[in-house]
Structure 1
């Protein structure tokens, strides 16, 4: 990318797989395991309806799955009486991630997230994805954008590729193809004319364009150009560009009772007219919630702060202080505004077929892994069905990660994933049941409960924590006495010394 961006990328993260790291060692050991299995008496959960299928055997051959009749040979009984050893859900995808460490990738894996879209890519992410494809390590699949592109008025001139003319457009496409990035992410200040030229050039090259809906581009126009849009921008304003005292009042005003209905209708019309490539929406409600300062569903605890990637910890500390200083009444008002974002999603006609589950993990108090299931819980509270959420976390995400057909803007046929998340009990139509898998089958490697516990313990040990500090499957760490302020002040003192 541009020299400034390239320097920033290589300066910050050259490698997500440091030699000798205990997590790397464990993932290399797992990669050497057999990739052929027979799993007996499995009921695969339909990712559209959420209903379990018939009991079958699952044969895994070099990472690919096929099904067959169960060897159950007892007296023929009704389907509900037949034994079932496993319920299998397709591998889930965090559709909006900012992974900055191996601990982040492991956090995803142990929570059943076998893929992610890295929407601010760096060479380190491509190196990790290459190691996964070569089967040197067991990792979630990474779909990586070539950093971020924006216009000359960008707020982040040292961190993005600025597109000011046709020459810059050609260069960013050539470099994306040369380095093997999977897509391009656009930001808020790209000019409409430049965005149009970029989209046409990317269509010819077979490069998907994703990202923020620019402020000067109508949402309906963006929905015809972008494969995915993030954070509901374009439908609601990007309030985080405003001065801090205007952010939440502006969002609340946009989401009044009338505003929710109007914006849902606007989004419904735009999606209906988005054409054959079927634009996808990634709301990232869990990140909106964390940025609100609301303290009920975002637990600003010492444990959560410790679990942050070190390079991000200062930002997390700042967010915690801001939340703790926030008036409780104001915090509840902001939380109610995020609830209305969920209402907007639920009211939009056809959004269930266009939805993605993404977290924006890496932002303060949005931890890779647990926050994926917090996003599912946000969407469930908004009124989305269990089947709609499974589809958003799996089938829709696979489509978002499928290569584009050059010259058409459409995607190739979406392959079925052979990654599976396995449970001894059916999640019973509640997404909370998905947060603690009993096993994960990823690229043919079977990780059982002991393996997942080991990985989670190693991931926590990177932060000086143990599994008792944050049990696997818990969306937030327990807080003794439910008083987060004391622990955070201690941590803040330690980090500033």
Structure 2
């Protein structure tokens, strides 16, 4: 194998490299049985949050079978597996983080060969990993602000190349970006529609929002309603967002009515983390240790910015994200199909816990519990274009008590992944491995906690001296 071929191979298996302890643990789980009979399970309707009739849950080779009625009260409550509808998974640690928090599928919104490989691993059952829906790398215009990572479309040949690559490498969708030019946006979306590929991503800044709403399968981060402020200098971002929210709020329902029936993935948890405010996200050394090597610099810079932010500025930025939450509720009220996505991989958005932080953000925004469940499960499976078989696949999240709030969802008591049963002990062990592999004590972040355990204050502060 030549050095070039060797590098390409490592890129393909990058999520599950040989010798990685977390990857080895996920491979070991693949030898477990995929046939089970779990007594007295009440399925929870993802559109209602209410339990259905109690039945025994029967799984045969990873497929749900019709079990007999249960005997007595429910011992388990089952929900469809959660879906992180906007993820940037980059390691075996991310895969472990998702599984241990009940996320059995994800939409990878900047795909690479490693993610197609992971999709093959799931299908081949050589490791237990979440099911991946994988978009292309970003497709953008010649003025792209991510020149190292974008496929630039500026003529017919480059537009054809995007379509050929998406189909040839088996990507599930095409991701467009901020600087896509209107004419080529129209060409790409029309060609993608012709071959049945969804177009997702950032509503391009120069494309009228009504056209983006009509042509795109899902839009991310509320872009189109508000701009991608993170492409602006740091000293301008929040003023621009404030002005944009003023305009949207002044226009009222007319601004959001075009989202009716469309998928929208707001990723409020990432908006919150990027403000630097610390009410709901703690940029702690514990979380920093979980950053992949290629992201440590960005996470460290974000932590320094948060620490240096004065309280008034933090409160002002946090209030803007609260207003974004109000906008999500308005979009939902207009008939949009809201999705739960995290944008994990961005600073202090940790795969797994961040999913439940997003549930909390949506709940604080006033989205009812049943609607949050639907956003995390049924709507997300539809966004992945999963057909009728999805209703029989044994991807489930199980609880001993009926969950009635988003806080009840954060620590599953068991997870079924393609028929492999992971009980609470398995999940705790995997999450501990995630922490110890990063050089952390397993007790610093209990599974189900939205943030790490706060560090103890210094002895001088505890004693009241000074």
What TM-score range do you get, normalising by the shorter chain?
Answer: over 0.9
- Quote the residue 1:195 is aligned against: 185
State TM-score, norm by structure 1.
0.88
- Contact 1:352/1:384 (CA < 8 Å) preserved in 2? no
Residues 218-274 of structure 1 deviation map (CA, whole Å, 9 limit, x = unaligned): 111111111000000001121112221111011112223x7425255311x2123xx
Q: 1:330 to 1:7 in 2, by over 3 A?
A: farther
Counterparts of 1:169 and 1:292, CA distance in 2: 36
Counterparts of 2:327 and 2:6, CA distance in 1: 40
Residues 103-137 of structure 1 deviation map (CA, whole Å, 9 limit, x = unaligned): 00110000000010000110011111101110000
Residues 57-80 of structure 1 deviation map (CA, whole Å, 9 limit, x = unaligned): 1111111113434341xxxxxxxx
- Quote the residue 1:281 is aligned against: 264
Q: 1:7 to 1:283 in 2, by over 3 A?
A: farther
- Contact 1:371/1:475 (CA < 8 Å) preserved in 2? yes
Match of 2:230 among 240, 244, 248: 240
Give, in angstroms, the shift of residue 7 of structure 1.
13
Counterparts of 1:9 and 1:321, CA distance in 2: 35
Q: 1:45 to 1:402 in 2, by over 3 A?
A: same
- Contact 2:332/2:338 (CA < 8 Å) preserved in 1? no
Q: 1:246 to 1:375 in 2, by over 3 A?
A: same
- Quote the residue 2:145 is aligned against: 155
Q: 1:17 to 1:148 in 2, by over 3 A?
A: same
Match of 1:295 among 278, 286, 294: 278
- Quote the residue 2:402 is aligned against: 426
Match of 2:258 among 259, 270, 277: 270
Residues 134-153 of structure 1 deviation map (CA, whole Å, 9 limit, x = unaligned): 00000000111111110011
Q: Does 1:333 align with 2:316?
A: yes
5+ long unaligned stretches in structure 2: 462-466
- Quote the residue 1:59 is aligned against: 58
Give, in angstroms, the shift of residue 211 of structure 1.
0.3
Q: How does 1:29-428 map to 2 (within 5 A)?
A: 29-72=28-71, 82-256=72-246, 259-260=248-249, 262=251, 264-267=253-256, 269-272=257-260, 278-348=261-331, 350=333, 354-402=337-385, 415-416=390-391, 417-427=393-403
Give, in angstroms, the shift of residue 156 of structure 1.
1.4
- Quote the residue 2:440 is aligned against: 465
Q: 1:41 to 1:413 in 2, by over 3 A?
A: closer
Give, in angstroms, the shift of residue 175 of structure 1.
1.4
Give, in angstroms, the shift of residue 348 of structure 1.
2.6
- Quote the residue 1:456 is aligned against: 431
- Contact 2:411/2:448 (CA < 8 Å) preserved in 1? yes
Counterparts of 1:421 and 1:360, CA distance in 2: 22
> After the TM superposition, which of the residue ranges 61-70 and 134-143 deviates more from structure 2?
61-70
Counterparts of 1:144 and 1:361, CA distance in 2: 15
Counterparts of 1:232 and 1:113, CA distance in 2: 23
Counterparts of 1:95 and 1:366, CA distance in 2: 14
Q: 1:35 to 1:281 in 2, by over 3 A?
A: same
> After the TM superposition, which of the residue ranges 164-173 and 374-383 deviates more from structure 2?
164-173
- Quote the residue 1:406 is aligned against: none
Counterparts of 2:401 and 2:383, CA distance in 1: 29
State TM-score, norm by structure 2.
0.93
- Contact 2:356/2:409 (CA < 8 Å) preserved in 1? yes
Residues 258-314 of structure 1 deviation map (CA, whole Å, 9 limit, x = unaligned): 7425255311x2123xxxxx4200000000000001011110111111111122111
- Quote the residue 2:24 is aligned against: 25
> After the TM superposition, which of the residue ranges 57-66 and 346-355 deviates more from structure 2?
346-355
Give, in angstroms, the shift of residue 30 of structure 1.
1.2
Counterparts of 1:234 and 1:248, CA distance in 2: 16
- Contact 1:307/1:460 (CA < 8 Å) preserved in 2? yes
5+ long unaligned stretches in structure 1: 1-5, 73-81, 273-277, 404-411, 487-497
- Quote the residue 2:464 is aligned against: none
Pairs aligned (count)? 454
Match of 1:447 among 394, 398, 422: 422
